[in-house]
């Protein structure tokens, strides 16, 4: 069962049947933390933490539970969410394990990063702009079970690749996870809660295989990178603005039935967006993201901006564009909330180049579940800014 199917609608955890409150447990672990109204506040850090609990699920004689912690800070342009699993012989033990995992593997390093004033930095490049990020003073790996890694942590083994995924947001949180169970390796690389397949494969390459199969061993590293004020520039639009614009744009795109109507609707999108660059991204990205969601296909991490006038190309990662991530999330929510009909879906898919490619591949014998879209190219002009 998916976490999204079982979580409560309220933001707070509330007292559990065992009398154990995971949020109060979190507050008690850190001096200065305040627990009130199902929220933990860290006044010294400007951070608040809430919790959504999944269902407690019995498995044989044990219990498992999914716990979603929601963190808010002025540096986070959208809320940070961190899902942890708890497992134990009783509901209390399962929740305590999940809360402890969050404190030790995530929250400890977030608080350290927010307070860090060290000199170590990394520099990311987004088209012609450079963004400087402060590297946390304290980093480490959270370990469960038998050990299999040696010779460095995930961050230092993958630092150069990770920097290539950083964009212009104030903060990026990176979660790197690897677990062995017998001969089976599970790996996952997330940036701001989105899984990136190519970065995940880079992580797979650096994970050591135990000399002998082990029952279970897992390593997780959580890194919070904060952009320095000297290079940070706030976006000229907000997350909520993008969501509303995406919903309106999808409705408008359903009206497209000719090149004339396409151009007319594109003009209206330009009129509504606060900046031209966002309008260009909306027009280019929405049909292609819509295609991925409806067909349930994967996509590579890269994206290419092509200057229509000069022919110059800029290769980036999807994570480097605020617009892509925010549009992607809004398209997914729209489809989930509105449940469009097949006819409505086809209106949007009809203007998607990815859909045309997928259709051609399937007619030649490819299986839909095996399709992964390559880097998407979109056209820009000399006024375009990658926010």
CA distance 15 to 22: 8
Could you report the per-residue pLDDT of 262-296, keeping only the tens digit for each?
A: 999 999 999 999 999 999 999 999 999 999 999 99
Range 226-253 average pLDDT:
96
CA distance 78 to 171: 10
Evaluate whether 197 touches 262 at the Cβ level (below 8 Å). no
Q: What is the pLDDT of residue 11?
A: 36
Q: What is the pLDDT of residue 20?
A: 87
CA distance 259 to 336: 29
Range 79-96 average pLDDT:
93
Range 64-82 average pLDDT:
95
Distance of CA 236 to the CA centre of its chain: 21
Per-residue pLDDT at 218 exceeds 50:
yes
Per-residue pLDDT at 347 exceeds 70:
yes
Q: What is the pLDDT of residue 368?
A: 86
- Residue 10 — very low, low, confident or very high, per pLDDT cuts 50/70/90? very low
Could you report the per-residue pLDDT of 19-57, keeping only the tens digit for each?
A: 789 999 999 999 999 999 999 999 999 999 999 999 999
Tokens of 356: 């045309």
Could you tell me the CA-to-CA distances from 337 to 58, 246, 247, 330 in Å, in that order? 30, 13, 11, 10
For the chain, count helices (H), then strands (E): 12, 18
Q: What is the pLDDT of residue 29?
A: 95
Query: Comparing 133-137, 141-145, 374-378, which segment has the lowest mean pLDDT?
Result: 141-145
CA angle, 40 then 177 then 122, to 5°: 80
Evaluate whether 369 touches 358 at the Cβ level (below 8 Å). no
Evaluate whether 85 touches 55 at the Cβ level (below 8 Å). no
Per-residue pLDDT at 16 exceeds 80:
no
CA distance 360 to 362: 6
Range 123-142 average pLDDT:
94
Report which of residues 96 and 144 the model is more confident about: 96
For 367-372, the CB contacts below 8 A with 24+ separation are 368/295, 368/296, 368/297, 369/296, 371/295, 371/297, 371/298, 372/197, 372/297, 372/298, 372/299, 372/300
Q: What is the pLDDT of residue 18?
A: 54
CA distance 50 to 8: 13
Q: pTM (2 decimals)?
A: 0.89
Helix, coil or strand: residue 263: helix
| Mean pLDDT rounded to a whole number for the chain | 91
- Residue 5 — very low, low, confident or very high, per pLDDT cuts 50/70/90? very low
Could you report the per-residue pLDDT of 282-340, keeping only the tens digit for each?
A: 999 999 999 999 999 989 999 999 998 899 999 999 999 999 999 999 999 999 999 99
Per-residue pLDDT at 15 exceeds 60:
no
Range 344-373 average pLDDT:
91
CA distance 251 to 239: 19
Evaluate whether 176 touches 186 at the Cβ level (below 8 Å). no
Match 């995530």 to its residue by tokens: 106
First vs last C-alpha separation in the chain = 37
Evaluate whether 262 touches 371 at the Cβ level (below 8 Å). no
Query: Comparing 119-133, 144-158, 259-273, which segment has the lowest mean pLDDT?
Result: 144-158
Closest by alpha carbon to 110, among 30, 218, 53? 30
Per-residue pLDDT at 358 exceeds 50:
yes
Query: Comparing 54-58, 162-166, 195-199, 365-369, which segment has the lowest mean pLDDT?
Result: 365-369
CA distance 347 to 341: 10
Per-residue pLDDT at 145 exceeds 80:
yes
Match 């009130």 to its residue by tokens: 36
Per-residue pLDDT at 380 exceeds 70:
yes
Could you tell me the CA-to-CA distances from 380 to 59, 128, 279, 314 in Å, in that order? 53, 14, 11, 10
Per-residue pLDDT at 2 exceeds 50:
no
Tokens of 31: 């001096």
Range 181-185 average pLDDT:
92
CA distance 20 to 331: 38
- Residue 125 — very low, low, confident or very high, per pLDDT cuts 50/70/90? very high
Per-residue pLDDT at 6 exceeds 60:
no
């Amino acid at each position: 069962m998916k976490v999204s199917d079982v979580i409560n609608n309220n933001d707070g955890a509330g007292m559990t049947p065992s009398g154990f409150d995971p949020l109060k447990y979190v507050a008690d672990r850190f001096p200065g933390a305040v627990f009130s109204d199902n929220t933990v506040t860290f006044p010294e850090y400007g951070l608040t933490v809430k919790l959504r609990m999944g269902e407690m699920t019995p498995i044989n004689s044990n219990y498992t539970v999914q716990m979603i912690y929601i963190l808010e800070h002025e540096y986070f342009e959208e809320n940070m969410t961190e899902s942890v699993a708890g497992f134990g012989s009783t509901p209390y033990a399962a929740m305590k394990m999940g809360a402890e995992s969050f404190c030790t593997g995530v929250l400890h390093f977030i608080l350290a990063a927010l307070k860090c004033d060290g000199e170590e930095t990394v520099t990311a490049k987004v088209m012609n702009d450079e963004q400087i990020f402060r590297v946390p003073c304290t980093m480490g790996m959270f370990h469960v079970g038998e050990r299999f890694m040696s010779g460095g942590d995930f961050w230092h083994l993958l630092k150069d690749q990770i920097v290539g995924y950083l964009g212009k947001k104030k903060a990026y949180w990176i979660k790197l996870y690897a677990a062995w169970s017998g001969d089976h390796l599970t790996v996952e690389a997330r940036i701001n809660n989105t899984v990136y397949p190519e970065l995940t494969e880079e992580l797979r390459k650096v994970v050591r295989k135990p000399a002998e199969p082990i029952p279970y061993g897992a390593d997780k590293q959580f890194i919070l990178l904060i952009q320095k004020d000297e290079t940070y520039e706030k976006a000229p639009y907000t997350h909520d603005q993008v969501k509303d614009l995406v919903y309106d744009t999808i409705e408008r795109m359903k009206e497209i039935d000719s090149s004339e109507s396409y151009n007319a609707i594109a003009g209206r999108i330009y009129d509504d967006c606060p900046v031209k660059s966002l309008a260009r991204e909306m027009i280019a990205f929405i049909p292609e993201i819509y295609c991925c969601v409806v067909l349930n296909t994967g996509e590579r991490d890269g994206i290419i901006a092509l200057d229509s006038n000069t022919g110059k190309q800029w290769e980036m990662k999807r994570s480097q564009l605020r617009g892509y991530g925010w549009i992607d999330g809004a398209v997914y929510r729209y489809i989930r909330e509105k449940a469009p009909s097949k006819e409505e879906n086809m209106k949007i898919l009809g203007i998607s180049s990815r859909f045309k490619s997928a259709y051609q591949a399937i007619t030649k014998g490819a299986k839909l579940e095996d399709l992964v879209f390559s880097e998407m190219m979109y056209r820009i002009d000399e006024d375009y800014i990658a926010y």
